[in-house]
């Protein structure tokens, strides 16, 4: 049986400003196991990104957070900023939505990879280039020597996303948080990136949280799915449970909308073939 990497219980998030209080997330519980992927599915504003930001200490003091988030025996919600910074980017990796915004446009890719190695003190300086090349090769990036010498704007969104995934995995994380990592790239590259995440999950035994609004994306990588709507957990089950027997009307609506879009594109393709 797989070991539980992350166990979140009764998470509440409130936004408090100028005496006004707004509930963002209400009583959410879930767990993530080694070598498994939990998908968090919901539309914009459902609270899915807020949930992981709260767990990782990325929300400012306008947010009140309660509950528990145990990662390998430590309650992340009880740790200070310094302790959380030590965990983020090392044993807890993060892959964000838009890779272009995660790289400094003024510095070469190689320099930014080396800076990450330096910040976490994981390798000797004389090993940096060798490790970076090995990482790029592992991510199946062609001509890695040339990539190290390029600036971010000289690479495609899909290539930058691969570099970002590679940097995160080079820290040997035990938990990987992926926040809409396929949203800003085209559908063909999406497919390649999803396969990359599947390979990482199987080969490294990393526990994974994959946040998305896209039912089709999550169906290819998740083992379990939780569905959020207006800050509440409205459905939870295996991928087949959610896709074939959703319990909640909101989940049914998400799936029906996706199927409608899929049928529309099929009809367009058929029309093109007739012509």
Tell me how far apart the alpha carbons of residues 235 and 8 are, in angstroms, rounded to a whole number.
16
In a domain, residue 150? The reply is: no
CATH number at residue 218: 3.40.50.300
Over residues 80-93, the pLDDT tens digits come to: 988 998 888 889 99
Tell me how far apart the alpha carbons of residues 150 and 191 are, in angstroms, rounded to a whole number.
25
Whole-model pTM: value is 0.86
In a domain, residue 153? The reply is: no
In a domain, residue 208? The reply is: yes
Are 185 and 158 contacting, i.e. CB atoms less than 8 angstroms apart? Answer: yes
Place 121 in a pLDDT band, splitting at 50, 70 and 90: confident
Q: How far is CA 37 from CA 55, 178, 209, in A?
A: 17, 10, 6
Place 15 in a pLDDT band, splitting at 50, 70 and 90: very high
192 is in which domain, residue-wise?
4-91+172-274
Over residues 205-236, the pLDDT tens digits come to: 899 999 998 888 888 889 999 999 999 999 99
In a domain, residue 70? The reply is: yes
In a domain, residue 223? The reply is: yes
In a domain, residue 154? The reply is: no
In a domain, residue 236? The reply is: yes
Number of structural domains the chain divides into: 1
In a domain, residue 138? The reply is: no
């Amino acid at each position: 049986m797989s070991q539980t990497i992350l166990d979140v219980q009764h998470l509440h998030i409130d936004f408090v400003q100028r005496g006004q209080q707004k509930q963002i997330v209400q009583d959410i519980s879930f767990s993530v196991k080694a070598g498994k992927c939990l998908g968090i599915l919901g539309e914009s504003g459902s609270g899915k990104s807020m949930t992981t930001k709260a767990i990782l200490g990325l929300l400012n003091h306008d947010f009140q957070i309660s509950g528990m988030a145990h990662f390998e025996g430590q309650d992340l919600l009880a740790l200070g900023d310094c302790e959380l910074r030590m965990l983020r980017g090392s044993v807890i990796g993060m892959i964000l939505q838009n890779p272009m915004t995660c790289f400094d446009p003024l510095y070469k890719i190689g320099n930014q990879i080396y800076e990450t190695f330096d910040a976490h003190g994981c390798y000797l300086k004389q090993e940096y280039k060798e490790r970076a090349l090995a990482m790029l090769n592992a991510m199946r990036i062609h001509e890695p020597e040339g990539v190290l010498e390029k600036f971010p704007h000289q690479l495609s969104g899909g290539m930058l996303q691969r570099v970002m995934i590679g940097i995160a995995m080079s820290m040997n994380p035990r938990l990987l948080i992926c926040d809409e990592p396929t949203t800003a790239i085209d559908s063909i590259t999406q497919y390649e990136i999803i396969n990359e995440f599947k390979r990482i999950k199987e080969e490294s035994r990393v526990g994974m949280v994959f946040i998305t609004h896209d039912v089709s994306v999550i169906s290819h990588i998740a083992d379990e799915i939780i569905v959020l709507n207006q800050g509440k957990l409205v459905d939870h089950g295996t991928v087949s449970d959610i896709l074939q027997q959703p319990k909640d009307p909101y989940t049914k609506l998400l799936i029906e909308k996706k199927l409608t879009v899929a049928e529309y594109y099929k009809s367009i393709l058929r029309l093109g073939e007739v012509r």
